[in-house]
Structures are given as structure tokens and as C-alpha cells.
Amino acid sequence: MSLYLCLFIDSIPRYGVAMSQVSFDFQGMSVVVTGGARGIGAGIGAVFAAAGAEVTVWDRDPAAFTGTWHPALVVSADVTDEASLAAAMTQTLRTVGAVDVLVSSAGITGPVGPLWECGADDWRRVVDIDLTGAFLAAKTVVPHLRERGSGRIITIASIAGKEATASLSAYTAAKHGVVGMTKALARELVRDGVTVNAVAPVMVETELFSQLTDDFIERTRALIPMGRFLTVDEVAATVAWIASDLCGFTTGQVFDLSGGRADY
């Protein structure tokens, strides 16, 4: 896994990173992205594909793929269903031969409001997709990575996994769980050549905004010291770096993408 980072200082945009200024080399690598049909997952897949990786998208709604890039494979997979993921893994190995990197990106925000107004079914749905989905995806891929003696698992957590986010109790609980699972799995795989890390973004402006109220969006923006939302390209660049050889000695860590909101 290689990464070449080229930044042209005089032309760096005021906000964010322009992916045309960042070059990665993942030739010969196979990357699986759960929830990769749209949003952050699709943006991450696009960066890996542009860098030469064979990217497989596992998504519950593969017809919703919105990328302008070309995955090696798009598989129908429900991250809450172990049998569905096992079938996706079998199809992936049959098509691309191996998996080197798992990016666990599938997730939902869930209802916005105080905990006492959150229905039990809504709570279970958020936890099932965001936390259990990350667990089952890792469980599906880990035996293959251990057998190969190398690999990367990168989970998409959230700032809500580092500190409390009012009005998103189910999401906050699930993302705290993702962070804890990431750290535990990293310890379990530390001698197997497989690193496990997470990224903790603040809100990224994607179609998930449609699930949120305008008031919640503006209150969330006000919490970010940089005064803006994170971009998909910035998330994707960080994930690609974690997947590279340059991040080979780091595991069990949560990489902050909060614009100064969390300084720990």
C-alpha cells in the first residue's frame, strides 16, 4: 500500500482539500466499502478507485449508486444481516480475488429529538445499522485478513463517538460503541498484521441532511470552530492515508476530523 501526497501550497483552496492536489497509489489493492453507494462511502470509494484500487461496494440499495467512478463490483448487502454479508464476501472474493481494506461506512443518523421521544424501534434500527453493522462487517472480513497476514479496517465513527450530541441519543450511543469496538478489535489483531482505526468526523454535508431539521443543522455548524462543515473529500483523503503504508504503525486510534471541536 503506497501513498504519494502532493500539495501545491500556492493553490490550496481556502476551505478543504482539492482531491486533484492529492495523489494516492493503491494499484493492485482490493477495497470494500460498506454503504458505498452514496454519500461519504461513495466519496471514499471514488478516491480509492482513482488511485488504482479495485473497489467493491456493499450496500443495501446498490441501485442507489451515485458515483461517477466505476467500482469493480456493486453487491447487495445488508450490514445487519450476517448471512447477507457472508454472501457478499463470497461474491467479492470470486470476482476480485482478495480483500485488503475494509471501510465500514454504512450508517444512518436516525431521529432528531430528546431520548424520551425516541421510539424503541428507531433506537434499535440506528444501533443495528451503525454499530452492529460495523461489527458484522468486521467479523465477515477479519478471518480473510488474518489468513493473509495483512490488511486495514477503518470504521467511520463520528464526533458523536467522542462526545455527547444532544437530540441524537441513539446515534451517539451507537458511535461510542463503534469507537470502543474499533479499539478492542485493534488490540485483538495487533500481532496479525491488521490495523484497525476509526475516523471521527463532524457533520458532512450529504443527502443525510434531509433527515435533519434546519435548526439542528445550524446549531451543529455553530459548534465547529472552523465555522464550516467537513467535506467528503477531506474524509476520503484521511481514510486513504490510514489505509496506506505510511500509517502502518498506528492502530486502535480515532482520527479527529472535527474542525477544532474536539481537541483530544
- At 242, the amino acid letter reads I
Which pLDDT score is estimated for 5? 39
Position 39 in a domain? yes
Any idea of the CA torsion for 244, 258, 229, 176, to the nearest 10 degrees? Answer: 90
Range scoring the smallest mean pLDDT among 29-43, 47-61, 94-108, 218-232? 218-232
The letter for the amino acid at 243 is: A
- Between 229 and 208, whose confidence is greater? 229
Give mean pLDDT, residues 144-162.
97
The reply to whether 108 falls in a domain is: yes
Is 133 inside any structural domain? yes
For residues 91 and 77, the answer to whether their CB atoms sit within 8 Å is no
Q: Is residue 44 part of a domain?
A: yes
> How many structural domains are present in the chain?
1
pTM for the full model? 0.90
Task: Give me the CATH number covering residue 125.
Answer: 3.40.50.720
- On whether residue 139 sits in a domain, the answer given is yes
The answer to whether position 69 is within a domain reads yes
- Determine the structural domain holding residue 95 and report its residue range: 2-9+20-257
Cell of 27: 494499484
- pLDDT for 113-145, tens place per residue? 999 999 999 999 999 999 999 999 999 999 999
In a domain, 187, yes or no: yes
pLDDT single digits (tens) 3-53:
443 333 233 344 455 544 557 899 999 999 999 999 999 999 999 999 999
Domain membership of residue 262 (yes or no) is no
4 is catalytic: no
Catalytic residue from among 4, 15, 171, 264 = 171
